[in-house]
Chains A and B, each alone.
Chain A
Amino acid sequence: MSARAPVISLRGISRVFGRGESAVKALNGVDLDVAQGEFVAVMGASGSGKSTCMNIIGCLDRPTGGDYFFCGLEVSRLSPDELALIRRHQIGFIFQGFNLLARTTALANVELPLIYQRVPKKERRTRAEEALAAVGLSSRAHHLPNELSGGQQQRTAIARALVTQPSLLLADEPTGNLDSATKVEVMNLLADLNRRRGITIVMVTHEPDMSQFASRQVVFRDGRPVGDSQKEAL
């Protein structure tokens, strides 16, 4: 393998919620590098800071300390709009709670990121349809989220994250509320994307079975990574 440039580089990242007595240290000195084309599974107990870390990686949240370099860019120096542009063009985010627009069909939900990318209407429509087809949801394109099962909503969210063809895909417990058959389906889909399209994936899961689909496992405890399959292999 050639030297792969790190897509994500976290250096001493900390994130404190609240102030004074009630302050919560969600992240406490995270050092983590993720290279282009990796498929990383982030594991750890509930409350260990996985989601907080994902939000910072996804440029949705800012660390209270440390440095985050995204493709060599120092993220903490960027304005809210510059962060938005990174999210728009580089990152696909599959949220823990789907986060679909409620009164909007699956297809329109998938189209939404393309609207902000100013993709022309026709192309938008075809690309959204293709993304839905890729997750096997073509037949449900015109249903509202509340007319879809949990698995179908999850797949819509995946299609929305993929439709922009991001270089980095972040998934926060993408199999959280799925039955075991669907879980495997979704994981196969992600592994396939990683292998075929070379998309870098960081995925949070608390299920060891699911983490086996990834090429690297990182374990969080008390706001910092305590185990990394890559380092252990070295």
Chain B
Amino acid sequence: MFASTIRMALRAIAANLMRSALTVLGIVIGVASVVALVTIGEGATAQVRSEMSAMGDNLLIVRAGAARRPGEPHQDAAPLELEDAFAIAQEIRGIDQAAPSSSMKTIVVQGNTNWSTSVTGTTSAYLPCRSYDIAAGRSFTQTEDNGLKPACILGETVREKLFGNDEALGGIVRIGRTPCPVIGVMAPKGENTMGVDQDDVVLMPIRAFSRRIRGNDDVAQISVSVSDDRSTTAVKASIEALMRDRRQVSPGGMDDFEVRDMKEIASAISEATNVMTGLLSAIAAVSLLVGGIGIMNIMLVSVTERTREIGIRLAIGALRAEVRMQFLVEAAVLSGCGGILGLLLGNAGAYWATRSMDMPFIPSPSIAAVALLFSIGVGVLFGWLPAHRASRLDPMEALRHE
């Protein structure tokens, strides 16, 4: 019975294909935009997440100089020191690593080739903090970490520019005027959110870098990787307390440093994406509503046009509920078809958009299910009145119609 009701509905829809298509346009647009927006949003969130985790999971970054507030005079904050990093590593509980670092744009030379890149002085702790992996060779030893002896680890881009197909390990590159043996090469990480090539780097032990390249002992930032089972918020607070103490910030005074929680930034970005998705979904919901009203309108017309058919069905013994069901199913199938069409269109749109924005395309089955259920629901909701009207017809009068 139900199967034949659906077949009947499909036949009625096919009989007036053009009109059916125009009727469900609202539903198609509504569903397509919801699906596209949510899918694009999902892609964006996933991308931000993966970039954040590529930067380092549970990463806190300590910098000198607070974010200035409007109207306050800018003070030059004292730079961080190596001892700050050691203090954090020793005194803060719940962290895995703390890596001081300082960077400078410098020309690196190998044979006849030179390449301008960002040289970072740091310690072996930097690699796990920033999720860099050693692809070949090794990281810095503890002696190298604390000593003045030059050594370097190349990012993949730098290795490729300077060595090409040649073996980089055991080679010597000149950084500024300092010859540095290459002890390791890092696995490529690609670009970050801002489009910066994260493999265009050279790492050096920080003391050697300060003494021989940079010329001062300033530490630009300290990367802290928080243990997996610890809350970054709690660790951030204890680092802030420690730094306030070390930098002698008066109680109630403004911090002259900041601790940034990469997780907070990530969640802020995905929250912003969610708000956007929510807003646009509301607009899409309105178009679903308009689509529903379109369906109601056309179903009312259809009931009037098919009064005779309804009369015949009633005359040969259809119950009121069966006539109502027929028109309800027709409305639901109509809007369901619109939903499927919208789903395909929305996914196509999202695919195109994510591809052109270099984001991952993540079609979600749950969104598809929700969109379909929603559009069928719209059909049932707005088909109810016309269906009810059809079921209330008097068989005699319906047969006499026209």
Contacts and interface: CB of A to CB of B under 8 A. Distances in A.
B316 A88 contact: yes
Contacts, number: 58
Interface stretch (A1-9, A68-76, A113-121, A200-208): A113-121
A99 B399 contact: yes
Contacts of B312: 99-101
A55 interface: yes
Interface in B344-402: 395-396, 399
Contacts of A102: 309
B15 interface: yes
A160 interface: yes
A61 B394 CA distance: 9
B316 A80 contact: no
A93 interface: yes
B317 A113 contact: yes
Interface string A77-98: 0001100110111000101000
B1 A55 contact: no
Nearest to A90: B317
B315 interface: yes
Nearest to A124: B4
B362 to A, nearest CB: 42
B11 A103 contact: yes
A151 B320 CA distance: 32
Please tell me the size bucket of the interface on B. Answer: 20 to 34
A112 interface: yes
B319 interface: yes
A117 B316 CA distance: 10
A116 B318 contact: yes
Most chain-A Cβ atoms within 10 A of its Cβ — which of B1, B4, B311, B317? B317
Contact of A55 (B4, B15, B396): B396
Contacts of B11: 103
Interface residues of A, number: 26
Contact of A61 (B1, B308, B319, B396): B396
B49 interface: no
Contacts of B15: 103
Contacts of B321: 81
Contacts of B51: none
A39 B308 CA distance: 29
Nearest to B317: A88
Nearest to B399: A99
Contacts of A121: 3-4
A45 interface: no
Given A99-B312, A101-B309, A118-B1, A81 B317 contact: no
Contact of B315 (A85, A93, A115, A118): A93
A143 to B, nearest CB: 16
A95 B4 contact: no
A100 B311 CA distance: 11
B322 A116 contact: yes
B314 interface: yes
Given A55-B396, A115-B1, A115-B4, A85 B317 contact: yes
A116 B4 CA distance: 10
Interface in B286-320: 308-309, 311-320
Contacts of B396: 55, 60-61
B12 to A, nearest CB: 8
A113 B316 contact: yes
A12 to B, nearest CB: 21
Contact of B317 (A61, A89, A99): A89
A202 B361 CA distance: 70
B395 A60 contact: yes
Contacts of B317: 84-85, 87-89, 113, 116-117
B15 to A, nearest CB: 5
Contacts of A160: 316
Given A60-B395, A101-B309, A103-B15, A81 B316 contact: no
Interface of A: 55, 58, 60-61, 80-81, 84-85, 87-89, 93, 95, 99-103, 112-113, 115-118, 121, 160
Interface of B: 1, 3-4, 11, 15, 308-309, 311-322, 395-396, 399
Given A84-B320, A121-B3, 19 more contacts: A58-B315, A60-B399, A87-B317, A88-B316, A88-B317, A93-B315, A93-B316, A99-B308, A101-B312, A102-B309, A103-B11, A112-B316, A113-B316, A115-B4, A116-B316, A116-B318, A117-B317, A121-B4, A160-B316
